[in-house]
């Protein structure tokens, strides 16, 4: 499932984060990946121990937690604190797949079911930098408004095109979902969306109750927890 999640951050939040990131101390992005990833990665990231990363990451997690579409699509069980990157001067990230399991700050582990990229730069402020995601239906090019996010299966091959003008700032994170299977998560999202739309249209309450029962019983059946 490839899904655009609009308006995760408002304009004021975006501008404040951008101002903080413009003066941040960045590190070579290759320090955070293994040898295979380092061979195709050319960008900068906030260091893992950066207090700014912690502060801005907490704000993003709070915003995602309040966003109904993100919650309905991802059904997050655990979320890795966001990381921040910058691409400029030809910076890019070649074709790769994200690691299947990552360490949590508390010492636990997280299975990466869903990847999420949050755009912080306005699309007209830079050239290139498109996120290219491969799936069974081909390649999808993503370049969203600042404050918007894209969620997609972490199992997808993907890359970031070289940035040839300006700078591309963004945040990215991974989530372990209550529902491991992407196809099942998509069915649940479609059912949840239909229930909300029918409820808003004043549909029969008995029928809505039956549909809600189907949704929750499927979630109960498919959930890992």
**Mean pLDDT calculated for residue range 52-73:** 97
Q: What does residue 60 show for φ and ψ, rounded to 5 degrees?
A: -70, -45
Ligand-binding site membership of 192 (annotated):
no
Express each pLDDT in 176-218 by its tens digit: 999 999 999 999 999 999 999 999 999 999 999 999 999 999 9
In this structure, what CATH number is given to the domain that contains residue 78? 2.60.120.620
Ligand-binding site membership of 140 (annotated):
no
Q: Is the pLDDT of residue 36 over 90?
A: no
Task: Return the percentage of the chain with pLDDT > 70, whole number.
Answer: 98
On whether both 171 and 191 belong to a single domain, the answer is no
Report the domain count for the chain.
2
Write down the pTM of the prediction: 0.94
Ligand-binding site membership of 96 (annotated):
yes
Residue 137 — pLDDT band, cuts 50, 70, 90?
confident
Q: Is the pLDDT of residue 29 over 90?
A: no
On whether both 171 and 187 belong to a single domain, the answer is no
Mean pLDDT (the chain) is: 95
On whether both 31 and 91 belong to a single domain, the answer is yes
On whether both 122 and 36 belong to a single domain, the answer is yes
SS3 222: helix
The 3-state secondary structure of 39-75 reads CCEECEECCCCCHHHHHHHHHHHHHHHHCHHHHHHHC
Q: Is 152 exposed, middle or buried (0-12, 13-18, 19+ CB in 10 A)?
A: buried
Q: Which pLDDT belongs to residue 91?
A: 97
On whether both 216 and 173 belong to a single domain, the answer is no
Structural domain range at position 108: 3-177
On whether both 123 and 215 belong to a single domain, the answer is no
Residue 122 — pLDDT band, cuts 50, 70, 90?
very high
On whether both 91 and 170 belong to a single domain, the answer is yes
Ligand-binding site membership of 78 (annotated):
no
**Mean pLDDT calculated for residue range 64-78:** 97
Q: Which pLDDT belongs to residue 35?
A: 72
**Mean pLDDT calculated for residue range 141-149:** 98
Q: Choose between 31 and 220: higher pLDDT.
A: 220
């Amino acid at each position: 499932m490839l899904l655009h999640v609009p308006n995760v951050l408002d304009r004021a939040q975006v501008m404040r984060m951008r101002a903080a990131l413009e003066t941040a101390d960045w590190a070579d992005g290759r320090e955070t990946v293994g040898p295979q990833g380092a061979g195709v990665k050319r960008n900068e990231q906030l260091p893992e121990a950066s207090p700014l990363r912690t502060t801005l990451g907490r704000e993003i997690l709070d915003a995602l937690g309040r966003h109904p579409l993100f919650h309905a699509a991802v059904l997050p069980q655990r979320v890795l604190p966001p990381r921040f990157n910058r691409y400029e001067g030809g910076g890019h990230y070649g074709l790769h797949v994200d690691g299947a399991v990552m360490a949590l700050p508390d010492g636990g582990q997280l299975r990466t079911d869903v990847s999420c990229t949050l755009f912080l730069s306005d699309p007209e402020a830079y050239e290139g930098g498109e996120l290219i995601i491969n799936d069974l239906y081909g390649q999808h090019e993503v370049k969203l408004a600042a404050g918007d996010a894209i969620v997609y299966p972490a199992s997808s091959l993907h890359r970031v095109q070289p940035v040839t003008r300006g700078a591309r700032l963004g945040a990215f994170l991974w989530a372990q979902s209550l529902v491991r299977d992407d196809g099942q998560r998509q069915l649940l999202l479609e059912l949840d969306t239909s229930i909300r739309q029918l409820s808003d249209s004043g549909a029969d309450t008995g029928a809505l109750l039956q549909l809600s029962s189907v949704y929750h019983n499927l979630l109960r059946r498919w959930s890992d927890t």
